[in-house]
Structure 1
């Protein structure tokens, strides 16, 4: 493992930190208030705690909160794997591995960089737990070398549900990469995480570190041999698209493997792939003005390469980047808000600032850092940390500091029950401690609203760099660590009953009461699905009994039940005093806080006496005396039970005691691990069960909630053999065991769950190998194309091979169902010269009868295809740079073309890229065509450049395009049209400076002058994009009002609108909306043209229009006719 290069530093004591005071810090031309008395220790440990709230799967017993529970326990079941675990991405519940791998790598980097800080603060155990939690999941996602599950959960289905993780009901499909569905960015990004984890655990758990490193190397190799994100983008596109490609992730992953192993080949690989990193526009210079993030990690890779790669090239890359964010570079610098936030983008502005600050602080701590830069970067890091913590008067970290955010965009923290982010409860029920929210706009404006997913988004990648930055601040400036920090909250109202009187009669001879009752499940500590609820309504029928009737004469009926509940007859409670009850049994009904209907169960039942009855004396009537069907009351004198346990309301005193059984699992014990489980060697479940004043009638055994059998006499035992299998040896799966004891008196009790693990038997997967051709083979087909014969072997134990499918370059080319497995492939195409080889990658996939599949290692074959010469073609006349000074309407173009051992079939002629003629026969060895000039100019001497090219095609299909010949032509001179436009622009941005839609109404009046051609008209509206997202322009309406027939003409369908990025940023503008009309129609003076458009980004984030050039000023919207500016002022 490489030794890490960091200056020796001392953690500032808590006592010193408490004594620090407010000062000012001159930084980057801005005097930023530097609040040096923040408790960085508190911020540090809370930022790390955030990840505990993001955990998916079977949660550990040592979690420090009481509002997260087990969830996503069936993840991977659809593909026969255990893919539980990992982190949910943000305030949603998809597991996106690309940002998850980025976040876990960043956490590991912080731990490796500042191990002493974590140990001294006691946060090492929490950090290591989070790193391992994520990487355990990645290992599960990687069942074989060239298979990787990169996502669990469908983004669209998940985002359509607003509820807690614990009660999700939607399908959660798992999405896989393989050689035919590659995803190099996410594979290499995960390799980085696993390699960094290996470094973190090398001295703590060497075996685990070795496992991480093995998977890291395999995943990096998988990324390299596929070099594509095509498979990944099938599902991740639109959520976490790989915009920057895969080269940065391969460098990132390679660098971390190098740091873990010291293997120089990985260092070289990291350097080699830098050629594919993002570049400055129209330059070979590596980009420096974006940010280290889940999509683009070349900034972090360049910092590591600068520190450990011994290459000044990468020092320049990271210094350019950090200079751009601090003092500026080449006259350009990141935007700063008035209060000092380095603001790069509207979506996650604080994430970007704090992550860059983390990188800056690592550079500042580097022993080989440039001293002046180190101080500048350190000042920058602190200013951004303090902004996040509250230097402006408000904190942007949930649960920390002054005026922190209280409404993060997070489903589980909200604790909602209506499946509506704007519905109840209107205040989140949980505090998402440590979450860094998205942050303010470029003017420091911030809204603490749960529906504002730009300002209040939280995510794994948001906190990743922030945790590292807080560790640095704690190291440098101190703070106080609370060893007892937790998120144990007071439990609020969860499951309860409301009821009202539907109808009643106590006046006539036959008395009754009809009740509407509603059970609500608004659980949130944690949220949970209930399916064993029952409740009781207690009545006093003493007067009915005194009149000579029996309890069985009372009639109980139901007119409506939302969940088909079972309604009992009257049952005795305190028979001596005439107290009985009706039980409403909801067993089997899933009630959960997931929607208006889903979170409740309504019941309407009637209790009727055979004669007179004063039901108002009934114990449960006390709360509903003044109620109605439309005005329900809290039914505190009903009794609500969950699996027999009273959870709401109260029971009357004086009950005739009927005892429920007690039961527990005697063996196995919790945490037991079983190996080699078979029918002959099962897991034996033994139960204890007993009951007072009754007998046990049966004990039922359940695994993960599914009954596997029952026993009616002691000893109560049941054998369990899982039906699950794995394709990876040593894979374990957890099972939850429970027993339910039922007594002869009708009472039943379910035991506490005991969780055990079983090492799953290995479901045999086929072995497959391509045996011919041999890897590295070169085949000469220069004399003629012949088929490539492909052979493969495939075997499997305890099953059979159904077929072997052959692939060439990822496409199916054949299959074979019987050994020996063979197929053939006939290459197509040709080479232009000897030595020009075509590369083919051959793989075979064996598919077994048991459903398992295996793809072979790739075989690389080089083929020399037949050589077919390409034509040679040259423009003979006119000459390059020739000038036609007189008015020229026609130009003769002559071309020479020839081809070796073939004939010229066709020569095509182009002017400025547009084809204008073709020729199939040469005259005196030359092909000729006449070009007719187009267009006019307004004065003599105004020459127009024209670029000619010619493309020759041979009879064998080869083509060559000539070098361009540029000439300058005097076109026909015509008087310039007189055009006098007046432009009005209204309704920009719906009148709001901050909006997600630019709404423009353009009104163009042609006051006087010549008739004009609409196809030559162009409108430009200049603005700043406030982000890098794609933008779309829609035309809602367009029409012309004329002062002569046809009087009115619609153009809505003919308007073309698009956003054009400017080559150079101007004040208030880095792009413009371009409006043109696809209609060669003439309009005369006096015509009014109106065009209504809308423009928005692909993610619907807001525009800040306050500094947009054309906003609110029609004089800064430009109109062009035939390329000439005729109205407005350009920026």
Structure 2
């Protein structure tokens, strides 16, 4: 797992067995990882700026990636044919069934916190751009990706289990899982009301535990997750018709605790599974900006606090645009947003999503983004998001798509256990952990299986990328890298269709109107 955020890097033990550590209600504890990248080759000249990308194809491939990350017994409609059933005894030691969920990245580990964040981000993408995803013919696959995750998170223990419960609290995991379930409940409200209600009920239970029993001994903390979960529960309960007994209590929690939990104070320049303040601040800002469209009484009552959240959201967005007087997000010579060497693309995809969502919120409310370096129009935010996506797809000095399987040139030695070894379906022979490391990890050949839709860690600060399996900082892909791109690809695909047709196509009505 390519780790980032306040907690720094992790240690990697490539291709040796990893133990899943889910907690109660399907959680998994975090592990840390280590390895050494190799030297990089010089980049080739930048490609033409006139490159046109097929965002619909990128969307299709991105959703396919989540099927490659599935753990457990695979369904009949599994499209990634080289994957087979795996980890079918999860939970057996504890006498429970914990089969399923997603492998986090290149190893056979199921980490609860980033898995839940992945589900939250895919769900947020569907909430914002469900019509666009449906128009691209990918809504069912997006819903399947969400439900595969929430079905697992709604379980109760794991392979070698360290429980998180009232006696052994873990507020960050509980809160993120509550956020994932709440966001998913919004997605399924009309299509599967019973499942939506079940997710919302369990999200509320989890949040109660997280808020009452605060603890997690980590430098990255849990404050942002508590606010994140409360905002998603507000969104979910407001649409569920629960009135003051539902949505009001969660907005009140955000307003009362916004300062103490850092939501109105932290001015950040990154957004990831580990540090969510930018996402929290954008969600809170949308409440303020939509006060004439959604939940007007509550938004008006909380206006002063929400404005403080919004000022911090604006700091993050202006930093991505390079329009702050002081702190901006660094850019590579090729124009890529650059936060840190380890799995930098997670920050790029997250920024692209928040910029896209905020651009739409500004457009709907008729506003511009006030930055110290000058006001930015909604089109400026969307243009920055698009340039990041285009860089990912090949408009970069290496002329390489960092989305695996997209275009003619993409990473061939992705740091991924399953993709780098011959499929069991093909050989029908067992490969032990030591054998996998000795026989496959160090090979110089391309992976026998293409991990389609995976977004790898990406190039360094000099735009240089070395496609080597051992270079895990650049070649490992993670579920939370790809997750934010689902909504962005769908939005850009719709815009491309509108440009081609000379006007917006007929809108779908499969989800609640925004």
Structure-2-length-normalised TM-score:
0.76
Is 1:254 the counterpart of 2:230? The answer is yes
Q: Quote how far apart the aligned CAs of 1:174 are.
A: 2.3
Deviations 1:945-997 (A, max 9, x none): xxxxxxxxxxxxxxxxxxxxxxxxxxxxxxxxxxxxxxxxxxxxxxxxxxxxx
Residue number among 335, 341, 344 corresponding to 1:346 in the alignment: 341
Is 1:453 the counterpart of 2:433? The answer is no
Is 1:384 the counterpart of 2:388? The answer is yes
Is 1:191 the counterpart of 2:178? The answer is yes
Q: Quote how far apart the aligned CAs of 1:368 are.
A: 2.1
Q: Is the 8 A contact 1:320 1:329 kept in 2?
A: yes
Q: Is the 8 A contact 2:420 2:441 kept in 1?
A: no
Which SS does the other structure have where 2:163 is aligned?
A: strand
Is 1:331 the counterpart of 2:326? The answer is yes
Q: Is the 8 A contact 2:184 2:196 kept in 1?
A: yes
1:712-861 equivalences under 5 Å are: none
How far, CA to CA, are the matches of 2:337 and 2:308 in structure 1?
Answer: 26
In structure 2, the gaps of 5 or more residues are 1-45, 239-246, 289-298, 300-305, 369-375, 423-430, 499-514
Q: Is the 8 A contact 2:259 2:265 kept in 1?
A: no
Q: Quote how far apart the aligned CAs of 1:369 are.
A: 5.8
Q: Quote how far apart the aligned CAs of 1:335 are.
A: 1.1
Distance 1:34 1:381, change over 3 A: farther
Q: Is the 8 A contact 1:191 1:253 kept in 2?
A: yes
Task: State the partner residue of 1:128.
Answer: 143
Q: Is the 8 A contact 1:248 1:274 kept in 2?
A: no
Is 1:473 the counterpart of 2:486? The answer is no
Deviations 1:447-470 (A, max 9, x none): 011110001011111111122221
Structure with greater strand percent? 1
Q: Quote how far apart the aligned CAs of 1:209 are.
A: 0.5
Distance 1:449 1:276, change over 3 A: farther
Q: Quote how far apart the aligned CAs of 1:275 are.
A: 2.2
Is 1:374 the counterpart of 2:350? The answer is no
Q: Quote how far apart the aligned CAs of 1:321 are.
A: 0.3
Which SS does the other structure have where 2:83 is aligned?
A: coil
Q: Is the 8 A contact 2:268 2:277 kept in 1?
A: no
Deviations 1:984-1022 (A, max 9, x none): xxxxxxxxxxxxxxxxxxxxxxxxxxxxxxxxxxxxxxx
Q: Is the 8 A contact 2:58 2:489 kept in 1?
A: yes
Task: State the partner residue of 2:257.
Answer: 273
Task: State the partner residue of 1:551.
Answer: none
Is 1:358 the counterpart of 2:367? The answer is no
Which SS does the other structure have where 2:162 is aligned?
A: strand
Which SS does the other structure have where 1:212 is aligned?
A: helix
Structure with greater helix percent? 2
Is 1:287 the counterpart of 2:267? The answer is yes
Deviations 1:485-541 (A, max 9, x none): xxxxxxxxxxxxxxxxxxxxxxxxxxxxxxxxxxxxxxxxxxxxxxxxxxxxxxxxx
Distance 1:346 1:271, change over 3 A: farther
Residue number among 84, 87, 90 corresponding to 2:105 in the alignment: 90
In structure 1, the gaps of 5 or more residues are 1-30, 142-148, 153-171, 231-241, 480-1131
Larger radius of gyration: 1
Residue number among 186, 191, 213 corresponding to 1:226 in the alignment: 213
Distance 1:36 1:363, change over 3 A: farther
How far, CA to CA, are the matches of 1:82 and 1:359 in structure 2?
Answer: 36
How far, CA to CA, are the matches of 1:306 and 1:175 in structure 2?
Answer: 37
Task: State the partner residue of 1:297.
Answer: 276
* Number of residue pairs matched by the alignment: 405
Residue number among 411, 417, 420 corresponding to 1:414 in the alignment: 420
Distance 1:193 1:469, change over 3 A: same
Q: Quote how far apart the aligned CAs of 1:272 are.
A: 3.1
Residue number among 169, 191, 195 corresponding to 1:208 in the alignment: 195
Task: State the partner residue of 1:443.
Answer: 462
Is 1:429 the counterpart of 2:429? The answer is no
Deviations 1:293-349 (A, max 9, x none): 111112111111111144222221111101011133123311111111011111111
Q: Quote how far apart the aligned CAs of 1:273 are.
A: 3.2
Task: State the partner residue of 1:1089.
Answer: none
Q: Is the 8 A contact 2:421 2:436 kept in 1?
A: no
Tell me which of the two structures has the higher relative contact order, counting C-alpha pairs closer than 8 angstroms and 6 or more residues apart: 2
Distance 1:428 1:194, change over 3 A: same
Structure-1-length-normalised TM-score:
0.35
Deviations 1:802-823 (A, max 9, x none): xxxxxxxxxxxxxxxxxxxxxx
How far, CA to CA, are the matches of 1:467 and 1:276 in structure 2?
Answer: 33
How far, CA to CA, are the matches of 2:343 and 2:260 in structure 1?
Answer: 26
How far, CA to CA, are the matches of 2:200 and 2:333 in structure 1?
Answer: 46
Task: State the partner residue of 2:221.
Answer: 245
**RMSD across aligned C-alpha pairs, in angstroms?**
2.0
1:982-1061 equivalences under 5 Å are: none
